Amino acid sequence: MSLPETELAVFMERLRESGIKLTHQRMEIFKEVASRMDHPDAASVYERVRERVPTISLDTVYRTLWMLKEAGLITTLGPAHDRLRFDANTAPHHHFVCTICGKTEDFYCDAFNSLNVPQEVNAIGVVERAQVELRGLCNACAKEETK
């Protein structure tokens, strides 16, 4: 609900140092997404912000959310970006996901196959499967980067 003063200050400072304009819309969108712990989608952020800024457009919400991600102030869930992807590997395994190109590679690790989940999680639901997702730069994208 309430947003710590410091978070807002960090947001404003981050924009200033990047030469990005601090608009009314951006302020409201950041306050909305930063105050929610339920991993909202863009439409949900849009609906809520609209109560305070009735003329805001969905496009502005998307643009702002991507900008916030670029600035490292928020992240996206999942292998990010575009389409549904399928996996026929039924053996226990884990994934490395490239944050640039989205390439997703399997890897195997016995230690990761037998993680024991904290008590805390029982209050949420029943775990059926545990997977580790590593995010980073794949070698191909790292090579691109150095130019």
Partner DNA sequence: TTATTAAACAGGAATCATTCTTATTTAGTA
Partner DNA sequence: TACTAAATAAGAATGATTCCTGTTTAATAA
Question: Which residues contact its own copies by CB under 8 A?
Answer: 33-43, 45, 65, 68-69, 72-80, 82-90, 95-96, 98-99, 103-109, 111-112, 115, 117-118, 120-121, 123-139, 141-142
Residues 74-113, interacting with Mn ion (CB under 5 A): 87, 89, 106
Burial class (CB in 10 A: 0-12, 13-18, 19+), 45: buried
Beta bridge partners of 96: 105, 134
Integer CA distances (angstroms), 74 to 16, 33, 36, 64, 110, in order: 17, 9, 12, 11, 31
Task: In whole angstroms, give the CA distance from residue 55 to residue 25.
Answer: 10
- Asked if 101 is part of the footprint of Zn ion (rule: CB under 5 A), the reply reads yes
Interaction partner, residue 65 (Zn ion, its own copies, Mn ion, none; CB < 5-8 Å by kind): its own copies
Q: State the minimum distance, in angstroms, from the CB of residue 126 to its own copies.
A: 5
Residue 43 C-beta: closest distance to Mn ion, Å: 18
Q: What is the rounded CA–CA span in Å between residue 53 and residue 121?
A: 37
Among its own copies, DNA, Zn ion, none, the one that 101 touches (CB under a kind-dependent 5 to 8 A) is Zn ion
Chain-centroid distance, C-alpha 92: 25
39 three-class SS: coil
Nearest approach, Cβ of residue 22 and DNA (Å): 3
Interface contacts to Zn ion, rule CB under 5 A: 98, 100-101, 103, 138, 141
